[in-house]
Structure 1
Amino acid sequence: MPYDDKMHSTGYYKEPGPKLDEDSPFKSMMERFRFAADILELDEGEFQYLASPVKQVTVSIPVVMDSGDIRVFEGYRVIHDNVLGPSKGGIRYAPDVTLEEVKALASWMTWKCAIVNVPFGGAKGGVRCNPKQLSSGELERLTRRYTANMLEVFGPDRDIPAPDMNTDEQIMAWIMDTYSMNAHKTETAVVTGKPIILGGSHGRKEATGRGVVTVTLAALNKAGLAPNKSSTVVQGFGNVGSISAKLMYEQGSKVIAISDVSGGYYNKDGIDIPDAIAYAQQNDKSLEGYSKAEKITNEELLRLECDVLIPAAKEDQIGPHNAGNINTRIIVEGANGPIMANADAILEDKGIMVVPDILANAGGVTVSYFEWVQDRQGYFWTEERVNRRLNRMMRAAFDNLFNVREEHDITLRQAAYVYGINKVATTLKMRGIYA
């Protein structure tokens, strides 16, 4: 039967834990968590257990700079849950990263792994720094010291990092090497997103964008739209955004707008995405000055009329201030948390199908799991096999959530939280609480 919002607004789960704050990704996550907790009728103890991170670690990272001066950076690692298996999650380097943000990202990873049936719990890490202002040597020293400070946290059977914002396969290689030197053996499975030569997986770099497109095609099918009859807008042109745009372009969709930090670029007749990618690669990974499309703002880009909108930039891009102006049929969240919780109802009222981040961008953690499995086995798969298995798992996850959506008469996002939380809660009951 349809969900009664009055129960949510006055129910037991409204008060425990943080209340909604549109400026906090963690509190947006908690608002959605409470909704699912009400539907699942979790008791107080289950709610508190699943809402609380298992471990939060904050470390100081002293680094000798090229100048000889010492600078101290702050690093975080949050393990939200490890009921399903070792915790898993990326590490981001950013000047504005906070513990609160990392907590939200770690919890999303828990539900994300549960949704795609990957036997991992959720974790996330971050270092407050501006990597663009650091030399390669400074970046390496920072990474190795951060890893050394996390030796009791990381481990192939405990907690497995991966790349995230402003981190890449080179940084993962430094983490793997630092951990291995301290373990006195090569331990490739301690981290994923590594270079192929160090035990990385084929298809890992494209995995998140490929997963985004897999569920986009599934959503288009549910909406009765053919890919080659659709138009797409992509916000963000990093790894996820550019690959999502490229794969949608290859499916025949007219990609009418793309963007990065320099702004948006719009062409009503469609943008040649391979050409735009080549331009960005030759222009220090920036679209600045791209002349084959009209320059618009990122805010204008979000308001464009299209069939598919893929926000693949940062958190909190769509909120109450602009949700009413969104003019698309389907939103597929390539980024983590691009829609604020208090914008959900506005988009629902407009009839927009939202494929939530904890499903849409789960391709990355799925192939990270494949990489971990391959490292443990010492046997590596072809890219074709990786992609085939990724597509199958992502499509199965979409179908599962769509069934939950119809069963409870709720949105796809609400279905994702209900499915993911129910799986972790059921596993917790089976395992019990060690005392």
Structure 2
Amino acid sequence: MAGEPSGDALGARLMAAAKRLTGGQVRFIGVGGEKMIAEGLVSLFPMGELTLFGVFELLPHLPNLIRRINQTAAEIVRQRPDAVIGVDSPGFTLRVAKKVRAAEPGIPLIHYVAPTVWAWKPKRAAKYAALYDHLLAILPFEPPYFEREGLPCSFVGHSVVESGAGQGDAARFRAQHGLSATDRLVAVLPGSRKGEVSRLLPDFRATLERLLPSHQTLVAVVPTVATVRDRVAAALADWPLRTILVEGEAAKHDAFAAAEAALAASGTVALELALARLPSVIAYRLNPITVALYRRLIRVKYVNLVNLMLDRMLVPELLQEDCRPDHLARELGRLLDDPQARQAQIDGVAEVARWLGQGDVPPSERAARVVLDIVSQHPTTGKVKA
């Protein structure tokens, strides 16, 4: 089960690895997006119904969310699968897992992507330990937080290193879109949730408008996903500069290779930009009341995982009241105009790929091996062997 595009990508890679390891002797049912469906998932309903974030953004959709939680749990109990894997999105997956545990305690419950107990709500470690059989962690320092609570936890690495983010073709992208040698490309990534797009795109538009007088050949490339494509396309219609809207991983990675800098919503895409060595500015804004609640709980200095891992502000983060066109234009303009600032970011993320699990065995295969081992050793399953 996944609830947003980043989880859909993680789930799809795990599914592909499980198919390879079992010679295709595995099938999937649950909730996922286009990538998981492409790997063979039978999705109970469109994943887009779950891509919500923030207390006040969620409230109008709460009745439908509760209905989907109940529907999913009931289907799991009916199907009695060899394992249930929740991929991040704890607002959905955790609630489904609780219902399944109460109804069918013998089904192995696995959660993929450890909750950030090192950042906020440390008591969640005990909550997860009481519910799940195993946790798949994407960061190397996470397992001890859960193992001390008695929950087996495996560091598998972050499968964003398998995304191909650093393997785009700049020349191909420029040729496909008729870009000249003087056109200066900025990647604009407003997020994958409807609320993110609605909040951030107006500020991103105003940011580029501020830069246009001194950067007259600026072109914006806007990678998007199916769940928000129409909304993004409509917003771009009146932008004061040339825009290129692209969909799909290959086109996005080609855009990264061709671009000089990026302006992006906080999230997994920040890691992709780091792997692509594309200097970036990260922005985000939520409902002010939601933010006030979160700020009382959060225990870390940064939101961008690159900055967290480096323990310094390498990639500018302009959040909430700082997420303003004048501030964004200042930081993005610095990346466009100052080669040293660009190079400092490129050099600074050199260690991030290794920390995320880049190596001989892909993270998705490590995750799939753990899942298949759990299934093969479980007393009530044991049907699938890698």
Q: Is the structural similarity TM-score above 0.5? A: no
TM-score range, shorter chain: 0.3 to 0.5
Q: TM-score, normalised by structure 2?
A: 0.33
